[in-house]
Amino acid sequence: MSTADKPVVESAQHIRYAFTEEQEQFRTALRRFLEDKSPPLEVRRLMATAQGYDPAVWRRLSEDLALPGIHVPQQYGGAGFGMVELGIVMEELGRSLLCAPYFSSAVLAASAIMNGATEEQKRDLLPDIAAGLQLATLAVTELDGNWDPRAIRLKATRAGGNYLLEGVKSYVVDGHTANLLVVAARAADRDIGLFAIPADAAGVARELLASMDPTRKIARIEFKAARAQLLGDSEDGLNALSRTLDQAAVALANEMVGGAQKLLESAVSYAKMRVQFGREIGSFQAIKHKLADMLVDVELAKSTAYYAAQAAAVEDPEWPAIACMAKAAASDTYVRTAAETIQIHGGIGFTWDNDTHLWFKRAKSSEVFLGQPNYHRELLMQRWRV
Amino acid sequence: MKILVPFKRVPDPATTIRILPDGSGIATDNVKWVINPFDEIAIEEALRIKERLKTGEVVLMTIGQSNWQEQLRTGLAMGADRAKLIVTDKPLDTLTIARVIAKVVAEEQPRLVILGKQAIDDDSNQVGQMLAEILGWPQATFASKLEIEGDRCTVVREVDGGLETVAFPLPAVVTTDLRLNEPRYASLPGIMKARKKELKEIPIESLGLDLTPKLRVKELKAPPKRQAGRKVGSVQELVKLLHEEAKLI
């Protein structure tokens, strides 16, 4: 059967195609907060620290804006909104490159707990994460950096009422500062389950890794007979993990388009200001073409990312496929936009003093984070049953 | 304790202001409007007083057109309880504004009126003082610290050469300085709640005031553009230029 024979998107009647007035107002407040608290100078200061974030800013982000629990239901201490609002947050965080353990704690770990934990575990774990008091992260990838859950080898062996974890996780976002680790592990050599373990538990050793993108810290975590709690009633947590990674892909796509938009604005602004051969470089056709192509590129990626968030919010049947599309599109766009922004800045674009490299590095790290674009395109094809 | 916070809508400080060709005002297309930053500090302080006392009401007010509701909603999203918009499309001078606020004070009967020391657009720094005079209430301007105990208020003021502490009975008028606090940001739950809070529009004509301005803005002019610098070859040449051209020495 060819792809033309079957509907690709079955039902989109409940999807909104615009943000509400309140959502726009929220974006304005959030952007103002981030412009105040996360200017490039502050990003540079924090990326040079091992901790990688400012606890005072994290506190205000949690207390004033209630961001860590924006998508967490109210009965678990969250604000009770959904993927669209989370997408707005991510887009603005990507724009400002805020150095904070938001993606790890609020997006990855909180979603994994919401998707995989029992009611009692959710009531126990989520309120502190939603309030920003507990920093959590999700450990999926191992030494090969593969985001495909089938590649997970870390063992979880039943020991009384708990499980003992044995193995290594790597490239764990904010793994060095999180207090709580949610670990994807293979139980009884078969099923992939989700396990929760305090980061300071016996048998857990953490090491901050050097990485190209210092604005998002990653760590290697070694587990040696570390005692963990199974999340949920069953050792089979694959569906919960897949759903979490899809939600994270939507969030990351929105973060990436926020960064790409910021780069585009920076390129346009420089092209209007930089004078060469007696006129602004933006008046040269070669630069105009570049900027026009960048605009189209960013707008398409944004539309996909927004659509993915709206589709996920209403549980549209196609949303996991759209999540893959959004992640792949945003990855390509972000890297292209960053490269072109450096080109438009000319010689200064290659310097440390110019801020473009901060977003370029984030673009490159986001490209592989949660899986490369090809991996997501392959997943998209599988989900479309092509 | 009921606290009234009058505020003004001003262009976003990050906005580049363009003056109209005839000098009659500023071009308002593409201007983003925000609550005057000093007034935002006043809203924050009112909310903190209410939170400290665990009782009371924070009422916002502004004077302007119907579309100024957006800034009132922002204040409500920060946590204020209700808002009043005195509707007019006429430009008002500072004395008239103080009189309008005094009318609202007479109706609301707050124990404290707290507002920014000045608006960042015209920097008049007059309304708070005029309001206190009209009401016959004590006033403390340029507050950098504010404490309320019972029916008395203590304010630390930033004055030339140091800090001055004044204490006075309520009701009173206080104007805020920059260092009083750092205003909170409106959260999404706050924004959603604000939609349901009372926002009353009152036509200015219903207040029965003479709105004829006593002050008229004749013309706005942009400051002269900075000239490019010039390199001189020697100290002698510099001294000659300063003497003959700049006439500074």
pLDDT of B138 reads 96
Chain A: residue whose CA lies nearest to B74 = A25
Partner-chain residue, chosen from B184, B185, B192, that has the shortest CB–CB distance to A22? B192
Helix (H, G, I), strand (E, B) or coil at A2: coil
pLDDT at A220: 98
The residue in chain B having the minimum alpha-carbon distance to the alpha carbon of residue A79 is B189
| Interface check A14 vs B, CB under 8 A | no
Q: Of A22, A64, A85, which has the smallest distance from its Cβ to B185's Cβ?
A: A64
Residue B210 to residue A78: CA distance in whole angstroms: 51
Domains of chain A: 15-114+123-130 (1.10.540.10), 136-235 (2.40.110.10), 238-385 (1.20.140.10)
Interface test with B, best of A60, A65, A89 (most B CBs within 10 A): A65
Task: Beginning with the edge strand found earlier in the chain, give each strand of the sheet holding B139-149 in spatial order.
Answer: B162-169, B152-159, B139-149, B172-176, B112-116, B2-6, B57-64, B82-87, B199-203
Q: Do A25 and B192 touch (CB under 8 A)?
A: no
Report DSSP letters for B174-215, one per residue: EEE-GGG--PPPPPHHHHHHHTTS-EEEEEGGGG------S-
Residues near B51 by beta carbon (within 8 Å), at least 6 away in sequence = none
Q: What local confidence, expressed as pLDDT, does residue B15 receive?
A: 84
Show the low-confidence residues of chain A (pLDDT under 50). 1-12
A79 in reach of chain B (CB within 8 A): yes
Task: Say whether A29 and B189 touch across the interface (CB within 8 A).
Answer: no
Gap between the Cα atoms of A224 and A203, Å rounded: 5
Does domain B2-244 bear CATH number 1.10.760.10?
no
Min distance B191 CA to chain A CA atoms (Å): 6
| Measured distance CA(A219)–CA(A209) in Å, rounded | 5
**Chain A to chain B, count of Cβ pairs less than 8 Å apart?**
41
The domain spans of chain B are 2-244
Helix (H) / strand (E) element for B130: namely helix B127-135
Q: SS3 helix, strand, coil % of chain A, rounded to 5? A: 55, 15, 30
| Residue in the block written with tokens 């709640």 | B193
Q: Please report the pLDDT score of residue B236 as a whole number.
A: 95
Nearest CB among B70, B185, B192 relative to A65 is that of B185
State the smallest CA–CA distance between residue B244 and chain A in angstroms.
Answer: 33
Q: Please report which helix (H) or strand (E) contains residue A256, including its range.
A: helix A238-273
Residue A189: the pLDDT is 67
Task: Report CB contact under 8 Å: A26, B185.
Answer: no
Do A29 and B73 make contact, defined as CB atoms within 8 angstroms?
A: no
Chain B, nearest residue to A66 by Cα: B187
Mutate which of B34, B187, B197 to test chain A, going by most A C-beta atoms within 10 A? Answer: B187
Nearest to B188 among A33, A60, A66 (CB): A66
What's the number of CA atoms in the CB half-sphere (13 Å) around residue A219?
A: 24
CB contact under 8 A, B74 and A25: yes
Cβ of B189 within 8 Å of Cβ of A25? The answer is: no
pTM, rounded to two decimals: 0.87
Q: Which residue has the tokens 């206190």?
A: B132
Which of A22, A32, A80 is opposite residue B191, by nearest beta carbon? A22
- Which secondary structure element, helix H or strand E, spans residue B19, and what is its range? none
User: Cβ–Cβ of A81/B188 closer than 8 Å?
Assistant: yes
- Whether the CB of B178 is below 8 Å from some CB of chain A: the reply is no
Give the position of tokens 């990351």.
A252
Angle at B234 between CA B232 and CA B240, to 5 degrees: 80
Per-block mean pLDDT, blocks of 10 residues, chain B (249 long) = 96 88 87 94 97 95 92 95 95 93 96 95 93 97 94 93 94 95 92 94 94 88 86 94 90
Whole-angstrom distance, CA of residue B178 vs CA of residue B173: 17
Look at B191 and A60 and tell me if their CB atoms are within 8 Å: no
